[in-house]
Amino acid sequence: MLKQALAQNGLIAILRGLRPQEAAAIGEVLYAAGFRVIEVPLNSPEPYESIRILRSTLPADCLIGAGTVLTPEQVEQVKAAGGQVIVMPHSDPKVLRAAKAAGLFLSPGVATPTEAFAALAEGADVLKMFPAEQMGPAVVKAWLAVLPAGTILAPVGGITPDNMQVFIDAGVKGFGLGSGLFKPGMTPEDVALNAKAYVAAWNALR
């Protein structure tokens, strides 16, 4: 289902710093703009409550996940809150295995081909290329030449509507969007404007 959601719209919203009291309104404008994967990093205020609110507010075709997941215990807490996707900045095998055992979708962070192959061997659904600023389109193209056919690479870090094309041309099928989409203090209207700009760029390039 994660791959299906990204096939519909390859943009992943990363809501670092989201507060529970704004979760429903922010989630609704993202869904209306076309986002179908929304992630709340666990270093946000009361992240499990925000995940619960997003899951209860948005339609079933929108996957809700957690980012910056660092331990197997956090995987269980995410699942208990209704989260469906585990996103990591790294590829700790203990966390990968806990996520797969819990029946959750998995997007670990990878920065080398060795990490990418190891994460796929553990059942990763989508590979988060992090940080994207240090791995440009040439790296994407080189990785995709050797990774299994159908592997989805999603660069995260510094992605804007203006620099997506070079990555898409290299074979990228999705992006994680952080502060360019949402920063603490933004209103739902602010987020809606950013979301529409990203979706318009994605649709034009795809």
The pLDDT of residue 36 is 97
pTM more than 0.85: yes
Q: What is the pLDDT of residue 144?
A: 95
Q: What percentage of the chain reaches a pLDDT higher than 70?
A: 100
pLDDT of residue 121 exceeding 90, the answer is: yes
pLDDT tens digit sequence for 64-80: 999 999 999 999 999 99
> Does residue 149 surpass a pLDDT of 90?
yes
CA distance 139 to 94: 27
Residue 131 has pLDDT above 90, yes or no: no
In this predicted structure, the answer to whether residue 43 has a pLDDT above a threshold of 90 is yes
* Residue 161 near residue 200, CB atoms below 8 Å: yes
**Residue 110 and residue 81 in contact, taking contact as beta carbons nearer than 8 Å:** no
Report whether pLDDT(115) > 90: yes
pLDDT of residue 70: 98
* Whether the predicted pLDDT of 111 surpasses 90: yes
Q: φ, ψ for residue 166 (rounded to 5)?
A: -65, -35
pLDDT band at 134 (very low <50, low <70, confident <90, very high): confident
Per-chain mean pLDDT for the chain: 96
- pLDDT for 160: 95
Residue 7 has pLDDT above 90, yes or no: no
pLDDT for the residue numbered 133: 85
**Sheet strand arrangement including 109-110:** 109-110, 127-129, 153-155
Overall average pLDDT of the 102-111 stretch: 97
Provide the annotated active-site residues.
39, 128
Q: What is the pLDDT of residue 175?
A: 97
103 Rama class: left (phi>0) / alpha (psi -120 to 50) / beta: left
pLDDT digit string, tens, across residues 17-39: 999 999 999 999 999 999 999 99
